[in-house]
Amino acid sequence: MNEIDRLKEETEKIKRDLWALSNKTSGESSALDLTQLQNKISTIENAMTDFSSRITTLENKTIEPTKTVIFDMNSDDETINNGYTNGMVPEQSITRSDLSTFKYFKFYFVSGETESMLKVELPSQDSLPFSLNHTFAQNSRSFLTVFIEFSQDLTTISFTDMVYILYAGNSGTVSTIVWYDTNLSAQGHIRKIEAFK
């Protein structure tokens, strides 16, 4: 039984208790024990408070966060693509005065035919500037690691660096690791950044 079904069942029980209480008070008002009545009313009030709290919790879970696209290379709007129409690569950044108002961000990285999404919670003020990295596979032999930084004043997100790693060779036992720093969009870039309130 899920939470909504449980709440429905409890609602029906509260309705039955109220109906029984109203019948008891109307039919036996003179012989009714007031302490018993007060206890029953208190139990129903507590159940209603708990019920209301759980309904609020469920409603909050179903509310979709407000999404704002703060960068999209495919947008025709220059305030959204920032001129990075081939994707955002190292040494490029996005500056917005409202970045601190968001709870979390979603970064969409592309390398070759592979896309990876990274969700990042907004760092607290005492941990700024905040840096992070994310590694994902382009294929079975190559990987990309990207490095992102949030500025001290939380107005800028910078794509600071990118490392492309290729495992070359014919066998798993003998392979050469070739790695290099790059800012080539073909090796990897940020396609989109979304922010959520």
Provide mean pLDDT across the span 35-63: 73
Q: Is 126 helix (H, G, I), strand (E, B) or coil?
A: helix
SS3 call for 80: helix
Of 121, 81, 126, nearest in space to 103 by CA: 121
Query: Which pLDDT score, from 0 to 100, does residue 196 have?
Result: 94
Report the mean per-residue pLDDT for the chain: 81
Q: What confidence tens digit (pLDDT) does each residue in 94-150 have?
A: 999 999 899 999 999 998 889 999 999 987 767 678 899 999 988 777 888 999 999
Helix, strand, coil percentages for the chain (3-state, nearest 5): 30, 35, 30
Asked whether the beta carbons of 17 and 48 are under 8 A apart, the reply is no
> Residue 60's pLDDT band (boundaries 50, 70, 90)?
low
Q: Check pLDDT > 70 for residue 9.
A: yes
**98 SS3 class:** coil
Provide the CA 28 distance to its chain's centre, in angstroms: 56
* 90: pLDDT strictly greater than 80: yes
Does the pLDDT at position 174 exceed 70?
A: no
What's the pLDDT at 109?
A: 95
Q: What pLDDT, on the 0 to 100 scale, is given for residue 102?
A: 92
Which pTM value belongs to this model?
Answer: 0.65
Q: What is the pLDDT of residues 22-32, one digit of tens each?
A: 666 555 544 55
Do the beta carbons of residue 142 and residue 132 sit within 8 Å? no
